[in-house]
Structure 1
Amino acid sequence: MTRTPNRRLLALALAAAMAPAMPVLAQSGTPFSLGGVQPDIPTAGSFTVSDIRVDGLQRIAAGTVFTYLPIERGDTVDAARIGDAIRALYKTGFFEDVTIGRQGDILVVAVSERPAINKLTLTGNKDIKTEDLTKGLNDIGLTEGGTFDRLALDRVTQELTRQYNNRGKYNVEITPTVSRLDRNRVDLTINVKEGKAAKIRHINLVGNEKFSEEVIRDTWESQEHNWLSWYRRDDQYSREKLSGDLEKLNNYYLDRGYVDVSIDSTQVSISPDRRDMFISAGVTEGNQYKVSSVEVTGDTVLPKDQVEKMVLVQKDQIFSRRLLEISSDAIIASLGNIGYAFAQVNPIPDVNRDDKTVGINMQVVPGPRVNVRRVVFKGNSRTSDEVLRRELRQFEGSWYSQAAIDRSKIRLQGLGYFETVDVESQPVPGSNDQVDVVYNVKETQSGSFMFGLGFSQLTGLTTSIQLAQNNFLGSGNRMSVNAQRNDYLQRYDFSYVNPYFTDNGVSLGYNLWWKEYDSSDFNTAQFSTTSGAAQTVLGIPISETDTITALFGVDSNEVLTFQGATPPSIINYIDALGQRTFHAWRGEIGWGRNSLNHGLTPTAGMSQRVWLEATLPGSTVEYFKINYNVSKFWPLSRHLVLNTRAELGYGDSYGDSFVRDVCFTPQGAPVDHDNDPTTPMVPAPPPPPPSDPCIPGTSPDYVRTLTADGLPFFENFYAGGTRSVRGFRDNTLGPREAAFAGSAYTQPIGGSLKTVGSVEMFFPTLLDTPAARVSAFVDFGNVFRDLDAFDAGELRASSGVALMWRSPMGPISISYAMPIRKEDDDELERLQFTFGGNF
């Protein structure tokens, strides 16, 4: 009887003795096994580590584990320290499972590594760009080559769903897929089904008695579904947009004196299918207040009376917060232009609800005067810093000026090298009176390269190559080389411009060209020319927006005509002149003003240029041409930009007219007895044979007096085509002439007066890229023989749509136009395409 309880007590005693001697084991996930090796059983719960062994490593080095493990050889460890060690290893994010045990005095660390992300793929996302999503995933830690954490993937899924919900897409589905690979790797695919954004079907304002709902909501970004919603996308619900619209609602009343206005409630409901949204907002208008007094206090720095003139709010006016903001911004801008970068103006209102008045105290706090320590450029991988720095108006070591910084930004945008230019001022750590000005630029294609190879029955084999670079080797210099050749055309051009030949911005350029071509290939009258020129161009800036240009050059042009193919007026001009080669000393002077806000895709500002071109005395023919181009952009809204454009040109001769008597056959062909067009065609002794129809005194009807005056035919203006009046073939508008009497086929011969205009509406937000834009346009214009021939009733007009795209190979322009004012003999071309030109 007594043995049984003794045995039980012995067993309990043995168990109690063995308990603290068991291996210290802390685990998470799959239990760690010592592989069948029986560990030593110490007599206490702690032990001294004689060595450390790490099991289960595949990609991670053992040294990495030892770096994060807070236990070293010779340390005495217990259960608490082992727990801390496990937490430290988990915190690295490298392991899915960590188990620590012991084998004798050896500390055994068994780990299970998290797999590496072999490939990360995003599919189905349209509303949010892939690069934006990839950047967000990198910030979270999901990136190719990194370790895979399922918890991070769950957070990504939740965050993406939230972002799409904020954009009004409540049917979005985010489906992550993890594919296991060998060597402990995974492929991660995140598939996005965005669905359609919920549309706003109804917006209801409650409590607005002074103003109609239509007027209040006119500037809201959130609108009920309408026929323009496909473009404006204003019917798509967004929490951020609605918050901004409610702020506009509050501002609308504050700008009209309703100081006590309050938005009492906002309710947003969604239909069961998550496609329709209904918005309701309640407002309490309150009473209208007037301004009782206006006072400027604080350290104004500038003379107080000068600052007071910037305050637009006056006594006895209806209170307007917008006028207060404008006044504050004007004062801050004025102080910012003289170095006070952190100036503040605090309008302090004193509201008297009994009298319904508001007293305003404009408190000026200038802060410290700030010096610009450095100007830094980021993102200019191709363009050298020197090219950007010479456009700056804010200099290092000078006082901070917001106007100079903004002007520098506009000048950088005007270069045409950058898609975007952003600027920010960064305080210098440890200093309250210094800042660094950082310009972040995104470079775009600043040149074009074209190569063409073709064959036709008419021209045979045609080869062409053109290289144009507005930022040659990142130096800011402009260079262009062009070569083209076929059976009827040879052309070689070279131009080079250094826009900063001198440090103060004087530019110097050179043009060299030689060409031999049949002008009929260019939709003009049929004649051939062989010409060449060498020119020097000088540009002198006279202000931030104004430049004077001057050109001097020498050129030669030999013209060949074809009897029965070339219009008679051209043949008669050459016959009256008595020679076919034109030599000229050419000069040009012009003035230009450019205030556009961007060199490639402007949305505001104006560009205009007027220049006079003339051949100098001593040239074969003395004439002049005057041209005027103007283009103005009017930003109507975020969605619409209007461009109005006009081009005028006029030319005439200023020297003596050429008069010459020429003999003609009865068929109308000129008689050239010695085949030399430089000698008079009037016969000289001995008398010509009887068969000659131009015998003096016997056949006077065949002697004609020809005159060459006015603008030479090869300098005439032309209109029609992608750069003037779209919808009509290039160069086909204006006077036309048949090659011989009775011919139904007429050729464009151009004229000395050109009038072209355009009204074009751009849609900046229609395409989600600054490299392309869509427009609708109305073009009009024509060319007239001279000033006396001008007739407004002869103007042609067309309307259509256009797409302009800065492709990687150069600018591309596509237009489709329908003529709305034309004549029966006009040559139409509705679809037109250009590659490599400017737009």
Structure 2
Amino acid sequence: MTRLPSRRLLALAMASALSAPAWSQTTEPGTIPGFNAPAPQSPERASTPLSTDSFVASDIRIDGLQRISVGTVLTYLPIERGDTVTHTNTSEALRALYKTGFFQDVRLDRQGDILVVTVAERPAINKLTVTGNKDIKSEQLLQGLKDIGLSEGETFDRLSLDRVTQELTRQYNNRGKYNVDIKPTVSQLDRNRVDVTIAIKEGKAAKIRHVNLIGAEKFDNEDIMAGWESREHNWLSWYRRDDQYSKEKLSGDMEKLNSWYLDRGYVDFNMDSTQVAISGDKQDMFITAGISEGEQYKISDVKVSGDTVLPLENVEKLVIVKPDQIFSRRLLEISSDSITATLSNIGYAFAQVNPIPTIDREKRTVGINFQVVPGPRVNVRRIIFKGNTRTSDEVLRREMRQFESAWYSQAAIDRSKIRLQRLGYFETVDVETPAVPGSSDQVDVVYNVKETTSGSFVFGLGYSQLSGLTTSVQLSQNNFLGGGNRVSVEAQRSDYLQRYSFSFLNPFFTDEGMSLGYNLWWREFDYSDFNTASYSTTNAAAQAVLGLPISETDSVSLLFGIDSNQIQPYPSTPQSIIDYLNAVGSYTFHAWRTELGWARDTRNDYFMPTAGTYQRVSAELALPGSTVEYYKLNYEFSKYWPLSPWFVLNTRAEIGYGDSYGDDVSRNICYTAPTLVDDDNDPKTPGVIVQPDPSMPCLVDSPDYDKTVTASGLPFFENFYAGGTRSVRGFRDNTLGPRSDDFDFNYRGQPLGGSLKTTGSLEMYFPRLFDSNAARISTFVDFGNVFDGIDNFETSELRASAGVALLWRAPVGPISISYALPLRKEDGDEIERLQFTFGGAF
């Protein structure tokens, strides 16, 4: 895609086009004609044209002013009261007043000994509008116009407008849009005002139909142009737009052509000519480049000279260029950059490394001398943050790895930028290091941030016969009141769910970066509406969470809490769950819970990373003394591979496993015949009598049947689930894996989850499909399933799907939409091709 010029470059280009003075007139003393004649003087103020005779101005009168004050005119007028008015200074006065650009007509007259200056002001721009522009953004264009004085409230100069039109046409031509049509319109208003409208019809960029490299014999043209931004039409042109001609892109590609040969040892490579032809309809472009390849050279010797600051042998280790290698400018640049980066990390911010070649054309060899010029050692005077209107400076400052009054370190500055990006508070983070005026060894570090939504607000209200009135309010803020704390409050109520929760996390509870958080919740939930087995729960929990960073990328966390979970089965509840509850002998489970985790995060962005890795290992344990004793292990992995500016590959995997570690519990159960309905006409569960000793026979007279039940393995309410937007898209949420055998209630039985979860994904992101960091498209392949224990794992049971997804950080909140087609499925799998998640943001 064509890179748009910066606002300053655009303003500079326009300013150069307007560098000639708008008016520069000289005249003999007397009347100077203008575009509009000034209003006639009243008899009592009538004046006569100046004569060639000099006189002393007893007073100066300014006529014809509407918006400009008399004092402003007198400031620019080189004649003052009491000065002698001569032929020379009247000419200077006229030039000075015209030079201000305020007036379209100026006349000097005399009324007795009074110098009369009559002016006709230029109209003021009431409104400036630009329409039809897409390639150059309106904000960028208007700011460029403002920088040269063409903006609302400024005086209007038609000559400036004409030259701006010419400059804009040139800018669009450089982008390959030769059919651009720019029409400025000026509308006269009352009180000497005008409205200016610049209507732009950009048209389509000319397409590159053919690229011809004359003289390229040693390499295939396709290999040479692999990384070009200007190429003939291909199957990816709809995305990369590399078949659209642009002068800037072509200049960059010619530099890539030069680098291609220099990186492969062709020191004598030369660009002989470059020609660009355009078709008669200005739609097709034909590019021809003539080149001379020359011969291939090798490296003869390598040395390092100059003030290396560090021991010479340490610097030489940074040089990857070796004798007898094929000459490569890229390797020279990498070696130079490596030395420069090393010196910049110890304070030498302006260090330079100049590779000086010595060419022997007879032997076709090149000797390289890396000359090191460290420059002064620099320290950082101040660290400044701009653009953080909500977030306090303290939140940003604690992420800094570069400190004030410390030696300059490029690595620390870059690392600080990454840490700011990973907070999730900012859409963009840019850094500048301007030198301190008057000092050669001090710089300031300026971080310019653009804040984005860092929280979510979800409100729902609905009604249905199934669930009745449903209300929900969820408020979460990752940057609460700009202090960096995370707060979440949720209240939700319907016929099948009641939930109230609160969580708080202070990521910098101590100055060393230890975090402290709290979680509280109470919930009643009917799982039969959650695509899982049919039962309901009432649970409450209180937890405390500690986090401690152990390196720049690694951290450990510790959770400790207590919770209670009461299970209420239904007549449709699977028998395996009923048996588990009866074996435990209680429908209420209490747990002392702890979780230990380790995470490594090297991603370069919080919301839409393009590089880096995320890993997390956690171990959860229901401590001895809990109703049931079990553990859960989980491992998450995600890596982003930046294949090119147009493609980013993400590989993800998650493995979870859980089991009990205490003794299995067995009981002898006597089942009696159920009463079909109770007084409220609701089904009742079978009568159950539990024998304390499983070895004892059933003591109930005429039981329908009796059996021994055992509670073992991971509790059913802690099972893993798969399927849906967060695991295997294209399958309904939580429906993959083992199911119950109760075919009377569901054809395939109810989803039970499993103690082993294996899921993964390959996802290709297209970060340049939109001119925004807030949205991106991807294609993906998901796979995975859950199993009832490791022994039951079978690769043939893994499900897979493929599809496309949109991730959008919309003004109302983050939205994820996917459409997937199952690649591997079984009869009875619940398919859901279109899926989405939504959270409103503020």
Q: Could you say which TM-score interval applies, normalised by the shorter chain? A: over 0.9
Bigger drift between 193-202 and 149-158 goes to: 149-158
8 Å CA contact 1:23–1:102 kept in 2: the answer is no
Between 156-165 and 642-651, the greater mean CA deviation after superposition: 156-165
Equivalent residues of 1:738, 1:744 under 8 A apart: no
**Selected match of 1:26 from 24, 32, 44:** 32
Equivalent residues in 2 for 1:191-270 (5 A)?
191-270=199-278
Mark the CA change 1:667 to 1:44 in structure 2 (over 3 Å): closer, same or farther. Answer: closer
Report the counterpart of residue 573 of structure 2 in structure 1: 566
In 1, Cα distance between the equivalents of 2:477 and 2:312? Answer: 52
Between stretches 471-480 and 38-47, larger displacement belongs to 38-47
Superposed displacement of residue 450, structure 1: 1.4
Matches within 5 A, 1:339-418: 339-418=347-426
SS at match of 2:171: helix
Larger Rg: 1
| Partner AA of 1:595 in structure 2 | T
2:721 corresponds to 1:715:
no
Question: Secondary structure in 1 aligned to 2:546?
Answer: strand
Q: Does 1:753 pair with 2:756?
A: yes
528, 531, 543: which one pairs with 1:523? 531
Instruction: Tell me if structure 2 keeps the 8 A contact 1:292–1:357.
Output: yes
Cα distance, 1:697 vs structure 2: 8.4
Alignment of 1:9-88 (within 5 A): 24-32=30-38, 33-35=40-42, 39=47, 45-88=53-96
Q: How high is the TM-score relative to the length of structure 1?
A: 0.92
Report the alpha carbon displacement of residue 580 of structure 1 after superposing the two structures with TM.
1.0
User: Do the aligned partners of residues 480 and 830 (structure 1) sit closer, same or farther apart at CA in structure 2, a change above 3 Å counting?
Assistant: same
Return closer, same or farther for 1:732/1:743 CA change in 2, 3 Å cut-off. closer
Pick closer, same or farther for the CA change 1:373–1:250 going to 2, 3 Å. same
**What's 1:18 paired with?**
none
Give the structure-2-normalised TM-score.
0.92
Q: Which residue of 2 aligns with 1:540?
A: 548
Match of 1:681 in 2: 690
Q: Is the Cα contact below 8 Å between 2:186 and 2:195 reproduced in 1?
A: yes
Please state whether the residue corresponding to 1:781 is helix, strand or coil.
strand
Give the one of 804, 816, 820 matched to 1:817.
820
Correspondence 1:765 to 2:768: yes
Q: Do 1:450 and 1:809's aligned partners in 2 also have CA atoms closer than 8 Å?
A: no
**CA drift at 1:741:** 4.9
**Residues 208 and 286, structure 2, Cα contact 8 Å, conserved in 1:** yes
Q: AA paired with 2:34?
A: S
**Distance apart, 1:42 and its partner CA:** 8.9
Please report how far the alpha carbon of residue 679 of structure 1 lies from its aligned counterpart in structure 2 after TM superposition. 10
Cα offsets for 1:67-101 (capped at 9, x unmatched)? 22222211111232222222222222222222221
The answer for the alignment partner of 1:591 in structure 2 is 598
Please report how far the alpha carbon of residue 653 of structure 1 lies from its aligned counterpart in structure 2 after TM superposition.
0.9
Where does residue 702 of structure 1 map in the other structure? 705
Tell me the CA shift for residue 680 of structure 1. Answer: 5.6
Q: Percent identity?
A: 69
Corresponding letter in the other structure for 1:25: T
Give yes or no for the alignment of 1:779 onto 2:782. Answer: yes
Alpha-carbon deviation of 1:316? 2.0
Partner of 1:471: 479
Give the Cα–Cα distance (whole angstroms) in 1 for the partners of residues 261 and 503 of structure 2.
Answer: 60
Q: How many angstroms apart in 2 are the aligned matches of 1:489 and 1:49?
A: 92
Report the 3-state secondary structure (helix = DSSP H, G, I; strand = E; otherwise coil) of the residue aligned with 1:636: strand
Residues 1:102 and 2:107 aligned together: no
C-alpha displacement of 1:35: 4.6
CA contact (8 A) 1:202 1:279 kept: yes
Aligned to 1:791: 794
Q: Is the contact between residue 36 and residue 120 of structure 2 (CA under 8 Å) also seen in structure 1? A: no
Aligned 8 A contact 2:675 2:686 in 1: no
> Could you tell me which residue of structure 2 aligns to residue 736 of structure 1?
739
Counterpart in 2 of 1:130?
A: 138
Please give the alpha-carbon distance, in whole angstroms, between the structure 2 residues aligned to 1:438 and 1:487: 54
- CA distance in 2 between partners of 1:538 and 1:658 (Å): 34
The AA in structure 1 aligned to 2:725 is: T
Cα offsets for 1:610-654 (capped at 9, x unmatched)? 101111111111111111111000000010000000111111111
SS at match of 2:395: helix
1:464/1:65 Cα in 2 relative to 1: closer, same or farther (>3 Å)?
A: same
CA-to-partner distance for each residue in 1:366-392, whole Å, 9 max, x for gaps? 111111111111111111111111111
- Per-residue Cα deviation, 1:89-141 (whole angstroms, up to 9, x for no partner): 22222222222212222222222222222222221111221111121111122
Structure 1 residues 702 and 269 mapped into 2: Cα distance closer, same or farther (>3 Å)?
same
Conservation of the 8 A alpha-carbon contact between 1:716 and 1:749 = yes
Q: CA deviation at 1:739?
A: 4.2
Distance 1:76 1:485, change over 3 A: same
2:621 maps to 1:609: no
Alpha-carbon spacing, 1:834–1:70, altered in 2? closer, same or farther (3 Å):
same
Gaps of 5+ in 1: 1-21, 685-693
Counterpart-to-counterpart distance in 2, 1:558 and 1:683:
21
Cα deviations by residue, 1:217-255 (Å, 9 ceiling, x for unpaired): 111111101121110100111111111111111111111
Per-residue deviation, residues 770-827 of structure 1 (Å, max 9, x unmatched): 0001000011111112112111111111111011111122211111111111112111
What's 1:9 paired with? none
Residue 142 of structure 1 aligns with an amino acid whose one-letter code is L
Contact 1:140/1:152, CA 8 A, preserved across alignment: no
Letter paired with 2:667: R
Partners in 1 of 2:50 and 2:771 — Cα distance?
Answer: 71
Instruction: Rate the CA distance shift 1:66–1:606 in 2: closer, same or farther, 3 A.
Output: same
The letter of the residue matching 2:90 is: I
What is the alpha-carbon distance in structure 2 between the residues aligned to residue 461 and residue 721 of structure 1?
A: 26
Q: Does 1:635 align with 2:638?
A: no
How many angstroms apart in 1 are the aligned matches of 2:538 and 2:409? 55
2: CA distance between counterparts of 1:198 and 1:322? 33
Q: How far 1:682 moved relative to its partner?
A: 4.2
Is the CA contact 2:672–2:703 (under 8 Å) kept in the aligned structure 1? no
Kept in 2: contact 1:291–1:314 (CA 8 A):
yes
Shift of 1:275: 0.5
Which residue does the alignment assign to 1:3?
none
1:540 and 1:404 map into 2 onto residues whose CA distance is 21
Superposed displacement of residue 668, structure 1: 11
Partner of 2:173: 165
Report the AA paired with residue 707 of structure 2. Answer: R
Q: Does 1:179 align with 2:187?
A: yes
The answer (yes or no) to whether the contact 2:265–2:298 under 8 Å persists in 1 is: yes
Shift of 1:201: 0.3
User: What are the Cα deviations for residues 250-304 of structure 1, in whole angstroms up to 9, with x where unaligned?
Assistant: 1111111111111000000100000000000011111222222212111111111
State the distance in 1 between where 2:735 and 2:194 align.
64
Residue range with higher mean Cα deviation, 241-250 or 114-123: 114-123
1:664 lines up with 2:671 in the alignment: yes
Q: Is the 1:141–1:152 Cα contact (8 Å) retained in structure 2?
A: no
Q: Cα distance, 1:837 vs. partner?
A: 8.8
Q: Is the 8 A contact 1:579 1:678 kept in 2?
A: no
> CA 1:39/1:177 → structure 2, altered by over 3 Å: closer, same or farther?
closer
Please provide the CA RMSD for this pair: 2.3
Q: Counterpart of 1:24 in structure 2: which amino acid? A: G
8 Å CA contact retained: 1:580, 1:677: no
